[in-house]
Amino acid sequence: MPKKTTNPDDPRFKAADGSSIFDKFQYSAAVRAGDFIYAAGQIGLNPDGTIPDTDPEQIRNAFERLQIVLEAAGSSLDDVVELITYHVGIKNNLADCVAIKSDFINAPYPAWTILEVAGLARPELKIEIKAVAYSPQ
């Protein structure tokens, strides 16, 4: 089965030197395989690349980035069938994640796996969100 990759051309996905983070780190934001779109984990950076001070800001930013990725791949958050969230300090941010998720994810709800991890790509990061969407062509 052929696969199609998608990398949004959005300033949020630029490295400090202006290059694409996808080229820099050699990955794709999303890969379509048949009717499924696999979105890479999205972290909660601000649009300017800085890390927000609060967990809720990081969570909201991560969902917004996931939305951008899925839309660039021809899908939406409404098509998500599996959601995986990775939390650093889950006892401090799970309630915020549940509340903010409700602004982005509607019923019928996807399967959701919630994991606590020791750390993410940068020490200040508290959340990473990845998803699989079902989006027939």
Q: What mean pLDDT do residues 94-122 have?
A: 97
What residue segments make up the domains of the chain, in order of their start? Answer: 3-134
For the chain, state the CA radius of gyration: 14
- For residues 128 and 34, the answer to whether their CB atoms sit within 8 Å is no
User: Can you tell me the distance from the alpha carbon of 118 to that of 2, in angstroms, rounded to the nearest whole number?
Assistant: 35
pLDDT-based confidence at 17, cuts 50/70/90? confident
- For residues 120 and 36, the answer to whether their CB atoms sit within 8 Å is no
Q: What's the pLDDT at 62? A: 98
The Cβ of residue 15 has, within 10 Å, a number of other Cβ atoms equal to 13
Q: What's the pLDDT at 15? A: 85
DSSP state of 128: E
Pairing of strands 127-134, 36-43: antiparallel
**CATH class assigned to 3-134:** alpha beta
- For residues 65 and 55, the answer to whether their CB atoms sit within 8 Å is no
- For residues 135 and 79, the answer to whether their CB atoms sit within 8 Å is yes
What percentage of the chain reaches a pLDDT higher than 90?
87
Judged by DSSP in three states, 105 sits in coil
